[in-house]
A = this chain, B = another copy of it.
Amino acid sequence: MGIRIIGQKLPDLPWEERPGNDDPVWRYTKNPIITREAIKGANSIFNSAVVADKNGYSGVFRADTKELIMQLHAGRSRDGLSWKIDQKRIEFQSEEPEISYFIYGYDPRVVWIEDRYYITWCNGYYGPTIGVGYTYDFKNFYQLENAFLPFNRNGVLFPRKINGKFAMLSRPSDNGHTPFGDIFYSESPDMIHWGCHRHVMSPTTGWQSTKVGAGPVPIETSEGWLLIYHGVWTSCNGFVYSAGVALLDLEKPWKVIKRSKHYILNPRMLYENVGDVPNVIFPCASIQDADTGRIAIYYGAADTVTALAFTTAGVLYDFLEEFSYR
């Protein structure tokens, strides 16, 4: 039978067939799909989140200004490939303007839960922490309380409540470039108060020996939550960001069923090796089709551009069968 994606049908998602090699993930041949030109005055557009909606696709994009201040912009696309991005950054409205202010935001994720699109991002509040907001239409955005105390990055919501509570993965950090990092799982009854923190996974070896963090919103499948995540290795010249995949228990997502020992994607194209931060691929979003199992992954490259890659739930599942820790 194999693995099945539980969720939306998306027959028209961006797609290219697998080339004749064994790579579990293959790049879009016309990468990068978004460059700095998409926003006038942007330094770079990368590490961005995309969802399918009734008009095609919408997204929240990390765009660094020429001051090199990290901002979020909304954007829309018919086909998921060609994007029109708002020239003006998102300005969140907040019920607590005094508190939940927005200083900077980066590495957003977007997910539909129940009645709206939730956005999480790395938010500056006396250090990096997880900002939370929502929108109904990608036009008006509302900011909620920060989910956690500083210092935290890579907050990623699950696409539905689990055991009656909202659920989020995140990666506690320090206030700088953080040479360590584990993924944790937390729960909330109200998207405001968070607790019941569970450890999910730690760095191990090789490409994921320095730190790991959740990537796109986990994909629900018949076998568990399919989690694409990033791992970091420290060479004598700095951090190298690659991507791996894991399968988490559906009801207790802090239990790791399988986890890839090999990366599924690592920096090897010139647009991934050269840029503001060399040797970074950083997946932030995926869209998938429940019928075919096809998955399109949006990832930032070299902290400079946005790129696209493809895989299927089946390919990833087979890969986990073959290249997991035992």
Name A residues whose Cβ lies closer than 8 Å to a Cβ of B. 22, 40-41, 43, 64-69, 99, 125-127, 129, 145-152, 170, 172, 174-175, 177, 180, 182, 184, 186-190, 192-199, 202, 205-207, 209, 233-240, 261-263, 266, 270, 273-279, 303, 323
Contact of A237 among B64, B175, B238, B270 (CB under 8 A): B238
Docked complex Cα distance between A180 and B126 (Å) = 11
Given A22-B40, A236-B238, are A172 and B150 also a contact pair (CB < 8 Å)? Answer: yes
How many protomers of this protein does the assembly include? 6
Do A68 and B22 have beta carbons less than 8 Å apart? Answer: no
Q: How far apart are A109's CB and chain B's nearest CB, in angstroms?
A: 17
Across-interface contacts of A174 in B (CB, < 8 A): 151, 174-175
Q: Please state if A66 and B197 are interface contacts (CB–CB under 8 Å).
A: no
In the assembled complex, the Cα of A65 lies from the Cα of B260 at a distance in Å of 13
Q: Is the CB of A126 within 8 A of B205?
A: no
A13: shortest Cβ distance to chain B, in Å?
A: 26
The answer to whether A195 and B188 touch (CB under 8 A), given A41-B22, A262-B67, A276-B279, is: yes
Query: CA separation between A184 and B150, bound complex, in Å?
Result: 9
Q: A193's contact among B152, B194, B273, by CB below 8 Å, is which? A: B194
Min C-beta distance of A23 to chain B, whole Å: 9
Contact A68 B233 (CB under 8 A): yes
Contact B196 A145 (CB under 8 A): yes
From B145, B188, B237, B323, contact of A278 by CB (8 A): B237
Q: How many Å from the CB of A184 to the closest CB on chain B?
A: 5
Asked, given contacts A189-B193, A194-B193, A236-B239, whether A68 binds B207 with beta carbons under 8 Å apart, the answer is yes
Considering the chains assembled together, what is the distance between the CA atoms of A145 and B189 in angstroms?
15
Q: Does A148 contact B149, Cβ atoms closer than 8 Å?
A: yes
CB atoms of A277 and B149 under 8 A apart: no
Q: A4 → chain B, closest Cβ, in Å?
A: 27
Interface majority SS on A: helix, strand, loop or mixed? loop
Q: Is the CB of A207 within 8 A of B67?
A: yes
- Residues on B with C-beta less than 8 A from A240 are 276
Report the bound CA distance from A303 to B238 in whole Å. Answer: 14
Known: A126-B199, A145-B195. 19 other contacts (CB 8 A): A65-B206, A67-B262, A68-B233, A69-B205, A99-B198, A126-B202, A127-B182, A149-B149, A149-B170, A149-B172, A149-B184, A177-B234, A188-B195, A192-B195, A236-B239, A237-B238, A237-B239, A273-B275, A276-B279
A129 / chain B contacts, CB cutoff of 8 Å: 197
Contact partner of A66 (CB less than 8 A), chosen from B64, B149, B263, is B263
Cα A64 to Cα B206 with chains together (Å)? 9
Q: Which of B64, B235, B270 contacts A274 (CB 8 A)?
A: B270
Closest beta carbon of chain B to A56's beta carbon, Å: 29
6 interchain residue pairs of minimum CB distance: A68-B206, A237-B238, A193-B193, A66-B262, A193-B195, A174-B174
Nearest CB of chain B from residue A161's CB, rounded to whole Å: 14
The answer, among B194, B209, B262, for a CB contact under 8 Å with A65, is: B262
Kindly state the separation between the CA atoms of A187 and B303 in the bound complex, as whole angstroms. Answer: 36
What residue of chain B has the Cβ atom nearest to residue A175's Cβ? B180
Q: How far is the CB of A167 from chain B (nearest CB, A)?
A: 12
